[in-house]
């Protein structure tokens, strides 16, 4: 059974989706008929609810308690939550060009790529909201767990949910810097103040380290386990200099080792971790388990494919002809690099019968030129062919025949290859050689091994390998490249390393405008 199917089963068993957590009694809507074991035992008390002191009754009910907290990851890969879009469109590898009358959308795509966003841009607004929804739901679940008898299973569930909350907080401090740090929903202040990014970082480290003895050694790629905690600790420590001002490469390296020594192996093919049924990929550590029918929210193919590329995949819907690779980044792939064609689509496009596809407006062969001429293309300035048919499109995540508006590919939040490259980075930054961690990735991609890999080369390799996986913005900041100019983005100062807290949030809580306490 696909992980997401198991996930949905848990969701269907969960009857407190809004988590009325301050109540000590949890009500169940009965979806089945009880068969009495003995018709003569009529003096037995029958309840229409389970007293809080008696819940949960079994391991399945314990497992169900955290389901809603995990579902808050669902909007992260699309415009409902904007995390993935903000990390990629703001980077030197991906963009949302204006194509004549299409894709201007109030300038939000241009602003994100050029780093000219405001505190009222859609990406800034929705990303903050989706991350806080995750934190708040985790805190609601923890409030409920704290009202239950402290059995070993409940203690372990608390540690799991605290670790998941740390993941949401990691995304918050990475994108917004100083943020409030709250560990309860029912006891949270109405108007919280921000905490220092360093202090939140330390809280997250302590939370994860204290959870390690209680987390399962390995469960599945959706629920938080010991190796997910190792992965998050490695991410926190490798970015420690950005978050706190103090580098901690040795600790980052140590936790990379913990991940690499776990139950994961590198895939043999560069496409394997991204196929539709990738839930069994040996590389994936933690994922968002998207499903085209039951767990929707992954629509990258709709945002990137040309209007007529539905014919290439016998899609049941028409795509939107938008997002594409930055041309200068496309040129960093060698012609022999297997990832170039595996992760991108360009050139003449064909339908499933082998016929050339024609562009619906120009009626010319649909030949996608990978070299996008401009970020802002206008009718009468650029040709219709330039506007409609430039910029290589994303092919990294398999688009199966008959694809719908949503993909069923699990989206990798943590993938083993990333930690190989992070291990190489830590070694290089500590004055050691990182080749042994880089070269398995390069050789798999069909390009030559390196000797004495340098940081600039490693950053470029991370870009080619981890393209459209949501890590590029963070990488550029950590490597000191974020403020530099690229393609159509001008140089700027370090103040743009974090997004502003949205105006709607500061309008409600003016304490968010004050320095952290």
Give the architecture (CATH level 2) of 65-293+413-479. Answer: Alpha Horseshoe (1.25)
The enclosing H or E element of 328 equals helix 327-330
For residue 52, the model assigns a pLDDT of: 53
Q: Which residues of the chain have pLDDT under 50?
A: 1-47, 49-50
For residue 383, the model assigns a pLDDT of: 98
> For tokens 């949270």, what's the residue?
188
Nearest CA to 236 out of 2, 28, 474 is that of 474
Query: Can you give the residue ranges of every domain in the chain?
Result: 65-293+413-479, 300-394
> For tokens 């459209």, what's the residue?
468
Buried residues in 261-298 as b, exposed as e (16+ CB within 10 A): ebebebbeebbbbbbbebbebebbbbbbbbbbebbbbb
For residue 64, the model assigns a pLDDT of: 83
Q: Is the separation of the CB atoms in 225 and 216 below 8 Å? A: yes
Predicted TM-score (pTM) of this structure: 0.90
Backbone dihedral angles phi then psi of residue 405, each to the nearest 5 degrees: -65, -25
| DSSP of 398-451 | ---TT--SS--PPEEEEEHHHHHHHHHHHHHHTTS--HHHHHHHHHHTT----S
> For tokens 């415009």, what's the residue?
79
| DSSP of 107-123 | GHHHHHHHT---TT-HH
Packing angle, helices 122-146 and 152-176, rounded to 10: 160
For residue 58, the model assigns a pLDDT of: 65
For residue 517, the model assigns a pLDDT of: 82
Strand partners, 102: 99
Q: Give 310's contacts (C-beta < 8 A, 6+ positions apart).
A: 317, 318, 319
Strand partners, 348: 367
Nearest CA to 140 out of 155, 158, 156, 125 is that of 158
> For tokens 């039951």, what's the residue?
294
């Amino acid at each position: 059974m696909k992980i997401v199917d198991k996930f949905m089963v848990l969701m269907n068993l969960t009857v407190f989706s809004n988590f009325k957590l301050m109540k000590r009694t949890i009500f169940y809507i009965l979806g089945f008929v009880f068969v009495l074991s003995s018709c003569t035992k009529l003096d037995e008390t029958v309840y229409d609810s389970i007293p809080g002191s008696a819940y949960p009754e079994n391991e399945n009910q314990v497992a169900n308690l955290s389901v809603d907290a995990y579902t808050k990851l669902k909007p992260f890969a699309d415009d409902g939550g904007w995390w993935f879009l903000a990390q990629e469109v703001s980077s030197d590898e991906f963009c949302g060009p204006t194509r004549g009358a299409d894709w201007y959308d109030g300038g939000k795509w241009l602003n994100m790529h050029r780093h000219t966003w405001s505190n009222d841009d859609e990406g800034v607004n929705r990303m903050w909201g989706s991350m806080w929804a995750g934190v708040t739901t985790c805190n609601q679940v923890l409030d409920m767990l704290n009202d239950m008898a402290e059995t070993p299973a409940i203690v372990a569930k608390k540690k799991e949910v605290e670790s998941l909350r740390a993941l949401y907080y990691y995304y918050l401090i990475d994108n917004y810097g100083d943020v409030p740090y709250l560990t309860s929903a029912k006891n949270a202040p109405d108007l919280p103040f921000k905490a220092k990014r360093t202090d939140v970082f330390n809280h997250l480290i302590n939370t994860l380290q204290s959870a390690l003895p209680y987390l399962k050694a390995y469960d599945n790629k959706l629920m938080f386990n010991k190796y997910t905690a190792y992965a998050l600790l490695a991410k926190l420590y490798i970015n420690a200099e950005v978050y706190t001002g103090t580098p901690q490469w040795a600790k980052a390296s140590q936790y990379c080792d913990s991940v690499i020594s776990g139950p994961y192996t590198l895939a043999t093919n560069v496409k394997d971790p991204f196929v539709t049924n990738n839930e069994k990929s040996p590389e994936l550590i933690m994922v968002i388990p998207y499903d085209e029918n039951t767990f929707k929210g992954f629509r990258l193919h709709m945002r990137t494919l040309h209007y007529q590329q539905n014919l290439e995949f016998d899609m049941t819907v028409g795509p939107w002809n938008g997002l594409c690779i930055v041309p200068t980044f496309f040129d960093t792939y060698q012609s022999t690099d297997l990832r170039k064609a595996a992760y991108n689509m360009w050139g003449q496009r064909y339908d499933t019968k082998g016929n050339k596809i024609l562009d619906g407006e120009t009626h010319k062969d649909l030949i996608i030129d990978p070299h996008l001429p401009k970020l802002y293309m206008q009718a009468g300035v650029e040709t219709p062919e330039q506007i409609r048919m430039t910029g290589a499109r994303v092919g990294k995540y398999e688009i199966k025949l008959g694809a719908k508006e949503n993909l069923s590919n699990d989206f990798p939040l943590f993938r083993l290859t990333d930690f190989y490259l992070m291990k190489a980075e830590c070694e290089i930054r500590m004055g050691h050689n990182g080749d042994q961690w880089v070269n398995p990735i390069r050789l798999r991609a069909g390009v030559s091994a390196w000797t004495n890999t340098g940081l600039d080369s490693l950053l470029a390799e991370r870009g080619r390998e981890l393209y459209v996986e949501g890590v590029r913005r963070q990488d550029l900041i950590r490597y000191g490249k974020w403020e530099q100019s690229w393609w159509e983005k001008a140089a700027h100062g370090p103040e743009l390393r974090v997004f502003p807290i949205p105006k709607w949030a500061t309008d409600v809580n003016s304490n968010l405008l004050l320095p952290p306490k």
